[in-house]
């Protein structure tokens, strides 16, 4: 169930946005889409999960001309536990247009009852109308990570980076890298960059996608950890930085940029983050905001003037149910250099809590 839709911006700020449904999944279709990515030709690719399959990857191609129907194709359906199961995060392209992603479960069933997850590749067909070729690049075993909720991101050398929600040395998740083989035909290799430990002012259970800056540092969020006086000792989450080693073979350096206090500053960050041109980081939390009815905060983190000093949080907006609440997917830049995102609650049309909204944040 579900739909894929497009929102067309008005010509001038303040005008009415126009919604167009590109594809409506059949009512008896019990799998639901979870992510979308677009290629250079305007073709949409997405992934989905649900109760009747282990997951699927699909394609939506625009009509050749006019306002005709978009064409839907299923590129791959996960067939067995060893393939992986349950795609939650984003897909990403490489330079050749092949697709990469991660599954939350599946893989090595000796790791856990439902497996600890996989990183996979879908290669484009060599000829038109050919079959996409699926392969598992890496299977998690628990000590190296368990349940990669978010998708993956490439660096400039072709390595894939991501996070797992659980597993690692302490059981609170990992940040990992999966690297292509030096010689064709050999397996991809995985390295744990950091194991989250839920210590004092440390994060635990990372869930959102990682983000590179221009210097090769990685940024992410954890749903829990940080200030352990928050959320009955579980913590309300952190924003963190992982810096690559100066000397090859040394560990990556973890830095806690901000710990949430469960008040008006937000609670439980999980979605995609973005930088602006001056190095400010923009983040969304699913919960918090302070007071009854608030659920989520959008804020800016400003880097310090001197390295080593704390980053500074500035709240941009507190979400409240009638206008939209629970912005779980993060934010992105769009027209007029405004920030855009979605909420899964609020708005009108559904009983009690609403069906969700698409929102814009202006500077």
pLDDT at 186: 93
**352 pLDDT exceeds 80?**
no
| 334-349 residue pLDDT tens | 999 999 999 998 888 7
Instruction: Return the SS3 of 321.
Output: helix
**351 pLDDT exceeds 80?**
no
pLDDT at 75: 95
| 230-273 residue pLDDT tens | 888 899 999 999 999 999 889 999 999 999 987 889 999 989 99
pLDDT at 131: 93
pLDDT at 53: 78
pLDDT at 192: 97
pLDDT at 30: 63
**169 pLDDT exceeds 90?**
yes
pTM (global) more than 0.85:
yes
Contacts of residue 60, defined as CB under 8 A and 6 or more positions apart, other chains included, come to 4, 22, 23, 43, 44, 45, 46, 70, 71, 72
Q: Read off the tokens for 251.
A: 């560990």
pLDDT band at 288 (very low <50, low <70, confident <90, very high): very high
Contacts of residue 335, defined as CB under 8 A and 6 or more positions apart, other chains included, come to 9
Contacts of residue 22, defined as CB under 8 A and 6 or more positions apart, other chains included, come to 3, 4, 5, 6, 44, 60, 70
Mean pLDDT in residue range 305-326: 90
Q: Kindly list the distances between the CA atom of residue 255 and the CA atoms of 30, 46, 301, 310, in Å, as whole numbers in the listed order.
A: 42, 33, 14, 10
Domains of the chain: 1-168 (2.120.10.30)
Average pLDDT taken over every residue of the chain: 92
What percent of the chain has a predicted confidence (pLDDT) above 70? Answer: 99
| 102-150 residue pLDDT tens | 999 999 888 878 899 999 999 999 887 789 999 999 999 999 999 998 9
**183 pLDDT exceeds 70?**
yes
Q: How far is the C-alpha of 299 from the C-alpha of 153, rounded, in Å?
A: 23
pLDDT at 180: 97
Q: How far is the C-alpha of 177 from the C-alpha of 140, rounded, in Å?
A: 12
């Amino acid at each position: 169930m579900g739909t894929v839709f497009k929102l067309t911006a008005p010509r001038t700020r303040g005008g009415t946005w126009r919604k167009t449904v590109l594809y409506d999944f059949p009512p008896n279709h019990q799998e639901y889409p979870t992510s979308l990515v677009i290629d250079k030709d305007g073709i949409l690719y997405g992934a989905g999960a649900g109760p009747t399959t282990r997951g699927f990857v699909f394609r939506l191609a625009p009509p050749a001309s006019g306002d005709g129907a978009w064409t839907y194709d299923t590129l791959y359906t996960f067939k067995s536990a060893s393939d992986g199961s349950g795609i939650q995060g984003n897909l990403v392209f490489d330079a050749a247009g092949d697709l990469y992603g991660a599954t939350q479960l599946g893989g090595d069933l000796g790791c856990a009852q439902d497996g600890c997850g996989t990183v996979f590749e879908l290669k484009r067909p060599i000829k038109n109308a050919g079959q996409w070729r699926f392969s598992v690049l890496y299977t998690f075993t628990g000590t190296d990570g368990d349940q990669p909720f978010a998708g993956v991101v490439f660096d400039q050398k072709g390595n894939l980076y991501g996070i797992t929600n659980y597993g690692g040395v302490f059981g609170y998740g990992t940040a990992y890298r999966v690297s292509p083989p030096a010689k064709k035909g050999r397996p991809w290799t995985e390295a744990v960059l950091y194991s989250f430990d839920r210590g004092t002012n440390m994060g635990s259970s990372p869930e959102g996608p990682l983000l590179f800056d221009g210097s090769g540092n990685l940024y992410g969020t954890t749903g829990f950890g940080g200030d352990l006086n928050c959320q009955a000792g579980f913590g309300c989450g952190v924003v963190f930085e992982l810096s690559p080693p100066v000397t090859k073979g040394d560990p990556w350096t973890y830095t806690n940029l901000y710990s949430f206090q469960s008040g008006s500053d937000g609670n439980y960050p999980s979605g995609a983050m973005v930088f602006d041109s001056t190095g400010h980081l923009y983040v969304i939390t699913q919960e918090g905001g302070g007071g009854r009815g608030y659920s989520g905060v959008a804020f800016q983190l400003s880097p310090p003037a001197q390295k080593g000093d704390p980053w500074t949080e500035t709240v941009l907006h507190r979400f409240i149910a009638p206008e939209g609440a629970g912005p779980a997917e993060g934010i992105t830049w769009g027209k007029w250099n405004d920030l855009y995102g979605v909420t899964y609650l609020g708005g009108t049309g559904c009983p009690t809590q609403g069906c969700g909204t698409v929102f814009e944040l202006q500077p």
